[in-house]
Amino acid sequence: MKIAIATINDPSLNAAKKLLPHLSSHECHVFNKSQDHEEMGAKFYIYKKVDDIMPTAWAEFDAIIFIMATGAVIRKIAPHLKDKATDPAVIIMTLDLKRIIPLLSGHLGGANELAVEITSKIKDCVNFVTTASDQIKVLAFDMFAKKSGFSISHLKSLAVVSNAIINKKQVQVVTYPCMVELVKSFEGYKEENFVFISPDDFENFREDIPSVYITPQKLPNSDLQIHPDEITLGLGMNRDTPVHEITNAVKRFCYEHGLDMSQVTKLASFTAKSDEVGLLEYAQQTGIDLEFFDEEAINALTQDFSPSQATKFFNIKGVSEPASLLASKNKTLFLSKRIYGAVTVAASF
């Protein structure tokens, strides 16, 4: 992390110097009123008023550690607050480094994790974590998303979901089997708090409890959505299909299904397509890795796929669907193939 340590007098500056050895794995900058130099790998900067450093600290640092009074910190950060998705982590420490408060952006910003790291290194340092889910040790979906490397949509709906879990009520998670296991293995999971619904099983969907969707797609609702962002697109095409047709097919597929090209990390197809100029040009233009799979790998799959002309011509179960599945991280086909003229597209994650 890139950390700004803000001090206001000589005692707090001395405390910052004592703190620095415990933050050696981070990039630290110390803002103070008396010294301008470099020491213990950290850069020191002189300022006159706390207000002068706030725009830079807020915009350019992952975390700000204030060694000063809580009331002063609250007043100084208040004009800069935006939302929990973008605000930096804010931590307050006492002069003796024995008390630490993760004040802001505890989960997504990393304040809670940084506070835990510091308390583990400083003897008798007490961490005053105020985040309810951390105190009572229940699953927090923002931490689930962060640690899993997933993105979040409709973050404002997190409070409704979190409050239900904290109050020992149920929430409904709409997702795929591979994600069910990931949720169940995450810290704080308690069976009684969760109802899981498959996207193919909406007849059991409940309207009376908060919902969380874990899917690569960005859905047209206001519920909390968590998005695995490593999508594989399987591509099939007729012989000599030009690159612009493939490009347009993928764009339309993503538009129709709430996907973003930034989520696509891999392309996949059948080995017979490995000399398709249009496909190779598309992979080169997008900079996305392209992988091919042979007849043996495709036919070894046990899943059922959509009927395909590839069965007739190549004696294989399909192209876009099985190829996307084989190249995907979680081996989950979540969008069956769509046909756009000479191009077929399917998506797995």
Separation of alpha carbons 28 and 64, rounded Å: 10
Least confident of 137-146, 247-256, 311-320: 311-320
How would DSSP label each residue in 237-270? E-TT--HHHHHHHHHHHHHHTT--GGGEEEEEEE
In which order are the strands placed within the sheet that holds 42-46?
Answer: 38-39, 42-46, 27-32, 2-7, 63-67, 89-93, 99-104, 126-127
Separation of alpha carbons 115 and 107, rounded Å: 11
Percent residues over pLDDT 90 in the chain: 91
Q: How far, CA to CA in Å, does 145 sit from each of 70, 137, 142, 148, 330?
A: 30, 17, 5, 5, 16
Q: Please, are residues 73 and 47 in contact by the beta-carbon 8 Å criterion?
A: no
Separation of alpha carbons 131 and 101, rounded Å: 11
Least confident of 97-111, 167-181, 266-280, 303-317: 303-317
How confident is the model at residue 84, as a pLDDT?
A: 87
Percent residues over pLDDT 70 in the chain: 100
How confident is the model at residue 7, as a pLDDT?
A: 97
Is the C-alpha dihedral spanning 58, 64, 67, 73 positive or negative? positive
| 121 dihedral zone (left: phi>0; alpha: psi -120 to 50; beta) | alpha
Q: Show the tokens assigned to 39.
A: 């020491």
Task: Categorize the per-residue pLDDT at 202 as very low, low, confident or very high, splitting at 50, 70 and 90.
Answer: confident
How confident is the model at residue 19, as a pLDDT?
A: 97
Higher pLDDT among residues 333 and 313, named by residue: 333
Mean pLDDT of all residues belonging to the chain: 95
| 227 dihedral zone (left: phi>0; alpha: psi -120 to 50; beta) | beta
The three-class DSSP label of residue 46 is: strand
Whether the predicted pLDDT of 308 surpasses 90: no
How confident is the model at residue 279, as a pLDDT?
A: 98
Q: Please, are residues 88 and 109 in contact by the beta-carbon 8 Å criterion?
A: yes
pTM comes to 0.83
How confident is the model at residue 40, as a pLDDT?
A: 83
Task: Categorize the per-residue pLDDT at 310 as very low, low, confident or very high, splitting at 50, 70 and 90.
Answer: confident
How confident is the model at residue 314, as a pLDDT?
A: 86
Residues 6+ apart with CB under 8 A from 106: 89, 112, 129, 130, 131, 134
Structure confidence by residue, pLDDT tens digits, 48-67: 999 999 999 999 999 999 99
How confident is the model at residue 207, as a pLDDT?
A: 92
Residue among 345, 337, 338, 332 nearest 200 (CA): 332
How confident is the model at residue 263, as a pLDDT?
A: 96
How confident is the model at residue 311, as a pLDDT?
A: 84
Structure confidence by residue, pLDDT tens digits, 209-252: 999 999 999 999 999 999 999 999 999 999 999 999 999 999 99
Task: Categorize the per-residue pLDDT at 267 as very low, low, confident or very high, splitting at 50, 70 and 90.
Answer: very high
How confident is the model at residue 347, as a pLDDT?
A: 98
The continuous run of DSSP H or E covering 339 comes out as strand 333-340
**Rounded mean pLDDT, 143-153:** 96
**Rounded mean pLDDT, 251-273:** 97
Residues forming beta bridges with residue 266, ordered by sequence position: 232, 289
SS3 content of the chain, % helix, strand, coil (to 5): 40, 25, 35
- DSSP state, 10? H
**Rounded mean pLDDT, 266-292:** 97
How do beta strands 333-340 and 343-348 pair? Answer: antiparallel
Q: Show the tokens assigned to 46.
A: 């002189």
Q: Please, are residues 115 and 127 in contact by the beta-carbon 8 Å criterion?
A: yes
Separation of alpha carbons 230 and 119, rounded Å: 35
How confident is the model at residue 283, as a pLDDT?
A: 98
Whether the predicted pLDDT of 195 surpasses 90: yes
Structure confidence by residue, pLDDT tens digits, 169-179: 999 999 999 99
